[in-house]
Structure 1
């Protein structure tokens, strides 16, 4: 089985791939009873699939006309996602095992299940339930040791003087990354820190005079610790910008994709446009010129990320 992504958060979704491979020497039909589900850290079980699966023995058949294929035609083509293939090939595998995996991907029957992680799902390790009953015998997943995923959660608490605390309330370590920029310098970070936050542990960060971003959950979540719970400003990414210099003064012309409307930005308006890169808080840009900021918001030149 394969799980995508391996690390997620509450309120998101997980896709589970299950590959059922028939024995090549199977001569008679069988109909096992299959159960696929998810065990949560707090003891709940969510069933994704629970029904009999009819398996018919494979018999070689001539290839349909027009298919450029020699020999016999036994299976319908499987359009297996590359992520599934990569998951099966991950890690150190003997050459014979890799051949077996590739053969099973083509010969097998592929099922995909999507589970919506509840908004209040507890953080921790979630394990997959895979059971196949046939004639009183129970068979589990061949990849049972890897059939799990994590729901991650990091809680942020802010204090005075730019002190921020990152807390992991879950029972599993959470890999995280801190990217630090000097104040007003957003071109290249001055420091990068990659670490684990242990279960129940906290990590203190001082954001004074810095722009510090917390990145986690396989880098899908980026939190600006220096502007925690504050909107950030972003210039409209659907507009073109043309930079010129007129009579010694820098000027920026902003043009939408369609229409004849355009804006000429100078002075504080141009400064706000340039600084609205998605990293700077709205509070900082309002200090440049509050009225110009409101006007640019009203015309859709900049937006706020909340």
Structure 2
């Protein structure tokens, strides 16, 4: 199975005046065709920045300083010109943003915004494009699509707006769909519907998914493979099944323990002590050391990314003797 996205040694710095601070450090991941891949971690871990780097939508203060992002084995996204990137965005790679109310333009009706995507990438007639838009809105579970096309974003519920965003993202049948916290602003019932919908549609369109989330429940529901991010680094990478049955990194164990303590009336809710360090607070050693229950003197230096078993890697000194450096 070939890779649809290859990220190698990706590093992103924050430029603050004359100083620079690392915010994403040496990210490596590979997403296969039709694969559902998740990146999970707390707010501030660098998940969304990684997804924005793929789309080349980083703010001016953020710079890619190292690494490559290759789409479908032929598009080196970090080196493409803006005009070339516009042809790739929306067509080969699409993104669903966290809050559809800010992603949709309040000044235009839904029809105008969906057709704009098609106009940019194809030369269909207006009737053909309108028929395609109506059909796609039906596929994402919107009844009365002809009426919804006339509405403005503020006239729709949060769940409806998110379905419109999914329709816009999939209408060109992209090879990769990036979903950045797509259900955060929705209630639990609508969340489940949206996740089921994304699973169904990506099967229909042979689309790979990169799911960005802080919710381990979403990872279980959506993904086959997962990378755990902390303070701008991937600290563990494996299949979803292995992550939940045998978490390796202390941070991953803490995340799982906090979820498992939910709803348990016999014990208090667990939380990992401390907070994620900001880019200006990061030290040369292990970035989780100040919060880790297993901290050792060697943690003052940065641990290598180690392969600790079949298809399972982690960035932790606890496995230095048994692991093999994952180049």
How does the TM-score come out when normalised to structure 2? Answer: 0.22
> Rg larger in 1 or in 2?
1
Asked which structure has the greater RCO (Cα within 8 Å, sep 6+), the reply is: 2
Structure with more of its chain in strand, by fraction? 1
Structure with more of its chain in helix, by fraction? 2
